[in-house]
Amino acid sequence: MDFGLIAQYVANGVMLGTMYALVAVGFTLFFGVLDVVKFSHGDVLMLGTFAGFTVWLGLEAVGIVNPWLQLIVILIASMAFTAAAGAVIAKWLVLPLKKAPPLNILLVTLMLGTAIRECVRLFYPNGSNPKAFPALLPDMSVDLGGFLLRADSVILVIAGLSLIIGLSLVLNHTRLGLAIRAVAQDEETARIMGINYMLIVLATFAIGSGVAAFAGVMNGLYYNEINFNMGVLLGLIGFSAAIVGGLGNLYGAILGGFMFAALQTIGAAVLPFASAYKDVFAFAVVIAIMAWKPTGLIPERTSDRV
């Protein structure tokens, strides 16, 4: 295999890893604060991406065609809509079931995801059909000796990594981040210290959902297509990445996202009929890792939660 092809696979893997890490971060935030797994996360991501696409249609209709302005508005609208949806889900579905058996929350969020997906399919115009997502980033590439470096991929990776770094800084160096970590480590002590528990939970779910919406828009910009079912696979991969990295650990979620992308890339490079079997290979290796390290590659410690 020549260098150019290897570099191409690496570049694709970094792009996918950034996207998966953003989704996995949401799962680890939810679990870190409330010890719950929100299985509607991928479908909320899809809903936010469709909201951004709808805003783009509106911008086109009123004659706002500057691609950078469109992109900024789409991102803001998508992340704000999804953040609000995440907070609503936390307040009206997750928190009321906090003392119920974990299976109840799992089942409720799983059903909610199915309901969201089916509502988009049934009620969005031609919702069953894929939508052509606008190509708003520069359509340029540089040939580096057989390695085609796409400008849109570079921009997306830089933006995604910047968001991950920014989230890490918020969690570790701000009052909000300190409050989130305090609630994650000891809810009762956090309440006694005067932290508004409800507000912190809603903020956490809003942040995790908004970050996932960014990943959904990234997916649409990269593949130039979205569909009502896109959240199923993205959600499953994000959850797998969070589990294999260490559920409840921010850096474990990031590691898991990039590791899953690396497994897909390796599968695509070395397996016959790569496009058909890369996901099978990646999930098989994840299963093996989970059997070997049930607590994840970076085991969660109470002091490290989110």
In-domain check, residue 298: no
**Distance (Å, rounded) from C-alpha 35 to C-alpha 217?**
28
Q: Cα angle vertex 152, ends 149, 153, to 5°?
A: 60
Q: Which residues of 233-251 are buried (b: 16+ CB within 10 A; e: fewer)?
A: ebbbbbbbbbbbbbbbbbb
Q: pTM, whole model, 2 decimals? A: 0.94
In-domain check, residue 258: no
pLDDT at position 267: 86
Q: In the numeric block, which tokens belong to residue 94?
A: 């997750």
Distances (CA, A) of 126 to 119, 120, 123, 129, 252: 12, 9, 8, 6, 39
Under DSSP, is residue 126 helix (H, G, I), strand (E, B) or coil? coil
In-domain check, residue 244: no
pLDDT at position 285: 93
Q: In the numeric block, which tokens belong to residue 144?
A: 């580096």
Element (H, E) at 162: helix 151-173
In-domain check, residue 27: yes
304: CB partners within 8 A, 6+ apart: 248, 249
In-domain check, residue 226: yes
Which domain covers residue 149, as residue numbers? 19-231
**Distance (Å, rounded) from C-alpha 92 to C-alpha 125?**
28
Low pLDDT (below 70) residues in the chain: 1-2, 272-275, 300-306
In-domain check, residue 303: no
pLDDT at position 300: 62
Secondary structure (DSSP) of 33-69: HHS---TTHHHHHHHHHHHHHHHHHHHHHTT---HHH
In-domain check, residue 69: yes
Query: How big is the chain by its Cα radius of gyration, in Å?
Result: 19
Q: In the numeric block, which tokens belong to residue 58?
A: 């509106």
pLDDT at position 248: 85
pLDDT at position 158: 97
Under DSSP, is residue 188 helix (H, G, I), strand (E, B) or coil? helix
In-domain check, residue 256: no
**How many domains is the chain partitioned into structurally?**
1
Cα 155 to chain centroid distance, Å, stands at 18
